[in-house]
């Protein structure tokens, strides 16, 4: 009797599914179009796109554009650079891509400074940053997409708020793992939010009912479910299990409710390593491997390489969000300002050391940004990406601290500057803090 009831229920459900599918097709509902990821990079910026959205901290509507290569440039990029042109490509995450108009991100400001310096020849600075990229994705994009453009210089803008954590994430990105013998192994992307380009859609994924369900549930829920599974997989080798993963995800949710901007731009990385401290040496080891890969790639191709270390608002403008810091500390007493700053300084010093050991030029922006601050706001108060003024400050530091412009070494001397348009007016040295 029970078996007959079960069969009746199963047949009823099957009939309902078939009826629903037929009805949706008769209504003209199209099937879900797969959002395929990039087989090499996992995810990347779309090419030739323009999007406009309201961004209160920007002061109104912000229009973001990507060109024919997916670069954050208003003009298309030609494969062949113009004669007599020094081509500079800048890779990084959203702090490099810019939460601002293309003309305001630091690579494009640097381009204008260099070309108005009166020096012989022309410069072309390309912003190839992509939001949420890891340092390994910077390398893969340089090797795969940027090397054919034959750049003369590569600048890696590593963001100290979340880049080390991103190195050990596997969702929709290529990643590295450390083998037992100490060697490092490359892995292709594992697709979570985007669809796997190597797998054609199944009959289920092609159904209208599946498309309706996926749209109703939303990519966010689907991502969180898959992310939880991957998280458990990632932490199991370190003696952690599902309960530890759940505690971490609960902490992330509660802290994001206090300040989503602070959580994503600085605190997320610190909370990860607080829960799973065994992964910090791995992240630093993998980052050193990526730096070494960059150096070998650039040396082989006669390209000058430099790392630019971008600090967080936590180090440069902590007083600007004191109320958020107090709420965070009340939630978890371990997350107080001195400890948070000490951790960021520690991992930044480790990256500086890796660059120094490997003979890679490194520009540490902590002191220059503090020196050029003088009450200016370099980061958005809530969203915590660089403001246009923060982008200009970084561009000036790169411009004055390199041999391509006047005042070589000026960045390390902490010269203050009045930021007005694209003109640089040096002041007296600012007292170091």
- For the record, the structure tokens of 190 come out as 């594992």
- For the record, the structure tokens of 198 come out as 């190597």
Q: What is the pLDDT of residue 110?
A: 97
Q: What is the pLDDT of residue 210?
A: 62
Q: What is the pLDDT of residue 417?
A: 36
Q: What is the pLDDT of residue 405?
A: 38
| DSSP letter assigned to residue 265 | I
pLDDT above 70 coverage of the chain, percent: 82
Q: What is the pLDDT of residue 61?
A: 96
Residue 393's nearest CA partner among 105, 88, 115, 144 is 105
* Phi, psi torsion values for 417, nearest 5 degrees: -150, 145
Please tell me the number of Cα atoms within 13 Å of 76 on its side-chain side.
6
- Average pLDDT along the chain: 86
Q: Walk me through the domains of the chain, giving residue ranges and CATH numbers.
A: 49-187+265-429 (3.40.50.1110)
pLDDT digits (tens, 9 = 90+) for 346-392: 999 999 999 999 999 999 999 999 988 777 899 999 999 999 999 99
Residues 188, 197: Cα–Cα separation, whole Å: 12
- Interhelix angle 337-358/268-275, nearest 10 degrees: 90
Q: What is the pLDDT of residue 170?
A: 87
- Residues 206 and 47 sit within 8 Å (Cβ to Cβ): no
- Please say if the pLDDT value at position 238 is more than 70: yes
Binned at pLDDT 50, 70 and 90, residue 223 comes out as low
- For the record, the structure tokens of 410 come out as 């000026």
Residues 189, 133: Cα–Cα separation, whole Å: 12
Question: Between the CA of residue 347 and those of 176, 283, 285, 387, what are the distances in Å?
Answer: 19, 10, 12, 24
Label residue 70 left, alpha or beta by phi (over 0 means left) and psi (-120 to 50 means alpha): left
- Residues 142 and 293 sit within 8 Å (Cβ to Cβ): no
Binned at pLDDT 50, 70 and 90, residue 32 comes out as low
Q: Read out DSSP for 367-416?
A: HHHHHHHTT---B-SSS-SBPHHHHHHHHHHHHHTSTTSSSTTGGGGTEE
Q: What is the pLDDT of residue 337?
A: 97
CB atoms within 10 A of CB 217: 11
Binned at pLDDT 50, 70 and 90, residue 419 comes out as very low
pTM: 0.87
Residues 420, 389: Cα–Cα separation, whole Å: 9
Label residue 80 left, alpha or beta by phi (over 0 means left) and psi (-120 to 50 means alpha): beta
Residues 374, 356: Cα–Cα separation, whole Å: 30
Question: Between the CA of residue 77 and those of 81, 82, 127, 148, what are the distances in Å?
Answer: 9, 11, 11, 12
Element (H, E) at 63: strand 60-66
């Amino acid at each position: 009797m029970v078996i007959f009831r079960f069969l009746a229920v199963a047949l009823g459900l099957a009939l309902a599914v078939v009826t629903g599918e037929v009805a949706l097709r008769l209504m003209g509902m199209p099937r879900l179009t797969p959002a395929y990821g990039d087989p090499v990079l996992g995810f990347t910026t779309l090419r030739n796109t323009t999007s406009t959205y309201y961004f209160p901290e920007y002061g109104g509507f912000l229009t973001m554009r990507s060109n024919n290569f997916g670069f954050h440039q208003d003009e298309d990029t030609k494969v062949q650079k113009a004669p007599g042109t020094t081509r500079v490509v800048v890779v990084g995450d959203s702090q490099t891509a810019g939460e601002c108009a293309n003309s305001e991100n630091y690579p494009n400001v640097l381009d204008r400074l260099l070309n108005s310096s009166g020096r012989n020849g022309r410069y072309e600075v390309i912003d190839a940053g992509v939001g949420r990229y890891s340092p390994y994705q910077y390398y893969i994009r340089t090797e795969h997409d940027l090397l054919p453009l034959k750049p003369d210089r590569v600048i890696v803008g590593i963001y100290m708020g979340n880049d080390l954590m991103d190195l050990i994430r596997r969702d929709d990105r290529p990643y590295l793992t450390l083998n037992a013998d100490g060697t490092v192994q490359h892995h292709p992307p594992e697709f979570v939010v985007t669809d796997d380009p190597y797998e054609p859609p199944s009959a289920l994924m092609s159904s209208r009912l599946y498309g309706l369900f996926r749209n109703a549930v939303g990519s966010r829920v689907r991502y969180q479910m898959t992310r939880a599974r991957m998280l458990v997989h990632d932490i199991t080798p370190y003696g952690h299990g599902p309960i530890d993963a759940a505690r971490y995800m609960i902490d992330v949710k509660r802290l994001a409710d206090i300040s989503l901007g602070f959580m994503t731009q600085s605190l997320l990385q610190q909370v990860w390593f607080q829960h799973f401290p065994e992964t910090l040496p791995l992240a630093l080891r993998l980052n050193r491997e990526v730096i070494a890969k960059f150096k070998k790639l650039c040396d082989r191709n006669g390209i000058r390489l430099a790392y630019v270390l971008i600090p967080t608002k936590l180090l440069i403008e902590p007083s600007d969000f004191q109320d958020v810091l107090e709420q965070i500390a009340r939630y978890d007493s371990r997350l107080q300002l001195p400890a948070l700053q000490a951790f960021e300084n520690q991992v930044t010093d480790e990256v500086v050391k890796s660059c120094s050991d490997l003979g890679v030029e490194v520009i540490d922006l902590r002191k220059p940004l503090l020196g050029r601050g003088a009450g200016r706001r370099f980061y958005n108060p809530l969203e915590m990406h660089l403001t246009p003024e923060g982008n200009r400050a970084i561009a000036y530091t790169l411009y004055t601290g390199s041999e391509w412009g006047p005042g070589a070494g000026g960045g390390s001397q902490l010269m203050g500057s009045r930021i007005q348009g694209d003109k640089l007016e040096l002041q007296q040295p600012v007292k170091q803090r």
